[in-house]
Amino acid sequence: MTGVKVAIVGGGPVGLAAALFASRAGMHPVILEARDHDGDKACGEGLMPGVMPLLKNLGLDPPGRDLLGVSYRQGTTQVDHLFPGAPGRGVRRTALVEAMRAETDRLGVDRIQARVTGVTQDAAGVRVHCADSDDVAADYVLACDGLHSTIARQLGLVARPSRRARRYGLRQHFQRAPWSSMIEVYYAGNAELYITPVADDTVGVAVLGPKGTSLEQTIAGVPEVRARLHGAVPASTLRGAGPFPHRVRRAQVGRVLLVGDAAGYVDAITGEGLRVGFAQADEAIIALRDGDPSSYPRRWRAVTREFRLLTRGLVVLASSPLRRSIVPLASRVPRVFGVVVDRLAR
Ligand SMILES: Cc1cc2nc3c(=O)[nH]c(=O)nc-3n(C[C@H](O)[C@H](O)[C@H](O)COP(=O)(O)OP(=O)(O)OC[C@H]3O[C@@H](n4cnc5c(N)ncnc54)[C@H](O)[C@@H]3O)c2cc1C
């Protein structure tokens, strides 16, 4: 395939958002997605309030359950924060990806099933190499290929793993009517347990922790959640993700821009990812529309700065002996806790 303005590698939520932004900017993007699947992935599935206007602008209204705030819990201590404006939404990944794919189809975006093995570029364009299918020649490439980005690795952009302990995520759904309109976050032992309502009869359960963390054992260690989920039938298979953090040295090399998790991911502890991924996609397309890909690293830093700083800070705290003080401290200064949640949820 030749004559493509922008080839998007990876048809996850960020790649799909990039395609929608590109399409609206008149760029006729092509998405190359390795897997023929329903888009499911280990994720807490909480769309923060800041994501909702962005989705609306893209013509998207995926089904789910309103999220009114966040409730942090540890033992008998609890601190709740209600989002000040419109709610967020708990949305199954499959429902989000389905809605996004439908919109790309409506706009006539080409989606090709192809596993990309790497890219080569010169002053005139980029060649995207695919396993078992023809190469694609494009003016620009957006690498939206996730945490284990083939393109970031091939371009030698992946930074050495930090010496900090690496963390992993797991998630599974259970058939149970949601008992709350908040995202519940339980600090349990050395793992965090997230409960997100995603449908009238389904809750998503995600856990974050060091290697070897078990979803079943983490649930068993939190009496409140154990009781709520007692006898509940699993509504999805157990999925895992990680390790994090994933760091890259820079988010752009020539005509290739890294976007979303591919450009670096700190941790899921703040229940973020999609909002910053969509913001990066928006900035990447603006940079290409302006014919100035080299402006992207600056734009990337600006839209990810708060997420990186706050998430890193919280992970450091959660991995330190002060871990046990996080929720009690937040409950003593609920306003500060609220400000941090709101900064991340914007
Ligand atoms: C446990 C956990 C909980 C989380 N909770 C939340 C939450 O509550 N809210 C939130 O906003 N975020 C959350 N996140 C983060 C969020 O899931 C990610 O930030 C988000 O999925 C990033 O989207 P992406 O499109 O960049 O990458 P992905 O979703 O990973 O998509 C990448 C796509 O690229 C494709 N691909 C990969 N390699 C190739 C290749 N070589 N060729 C072609 N295609 C390829 C893959 O098949 C995939 O479809 C959580 C993450 C974890 C792990």
Instruction: Give the CA distances from residue 83 to residues 12, 67, 71, 116, 189, in Å, rounded to whole numbers and listed in that order.
Output: 27, 9, 11, 40, 27
150: nearest Cα among 278, 274, 35, 312: 35
Q: Which atom of ligand 1 is nearest to the CA of 13?
A: 25
Given this model, what pLDDT does residue 49 score? 93
**C-alpha to C-alpha distance for 252 and 48, rounded to whole angstroms:** 27
Residue 165's pLDDT is 74
Tell me which CATH code domain 4-162+243-345 carries. Answer: 3.50.50.60
Rounded to 5 degrees, φ, ψ at 156 are 70, 30
pLDDT at 17: 98
H-helix segments, the chain: 13-24, 51-57, 93-106, 150-154, 215-220, 223-229, 274-289, 296-318, 326-332, 334-345
pLDDT at 192: 95
CA of 146 to the centre of ligand 1 (A): 5
Is the CB–ligand 1 distance for residue 203 below 6 Å? no
Q: What pLDDT score does 272 carry?
A: 86
Which of 110, 148, 150 is CA-nearest to residue 130? 150
User: What integer pLDDT is reported at residue 334 of this predicted model?
Assistant: 82
Quote the pLDDT of residue 35: 94
- Closest ligand 1 atom to residue 171 Cα is 1
CB 228 within 8 A of CB 28: no
Q: Looking up tokens 């149970």, which residue turns up?
A: 176
Q: What is the residue-level pLDDT of the chain in tens, covering all 346 positions?
A: 767 899 999 999 999 999 999 999 999 899 999 999 899 999 999 999 999 999 999 999 999 999 999 999 998 899 999 999 899 999 999 999 999 999 999 999 999 999 999 999 999 999 999 998 899 999 999 999 999 999 999 999 999 877 677 999 999 999 999 999 999 999 998 999 999 999 999 999 999 999 999 999 999 999 999 999 999 999 999 999 999 999 999 999 999 999 999 999 999 888 889 999 999 999 999 999 999 999 999 999 999 999 999 899 889 888 888 888 888 888 888 888 888 778 777 7
Query: Scanning the structure block, which residue is given the tokens 């009690």?
Result: 328
Per-domain residue ranges of the chain: 4-162+243-345
43 lines ligand 1 (CB under 6 A): yes
- The answer to whether 256 touches 119, Cβ cutoff 8 Å, is yes
Q: Which of 30, 145, 307 to mutate to test the pocket of ligand 1 (most atoms within 8 A of CB)?
A: 145
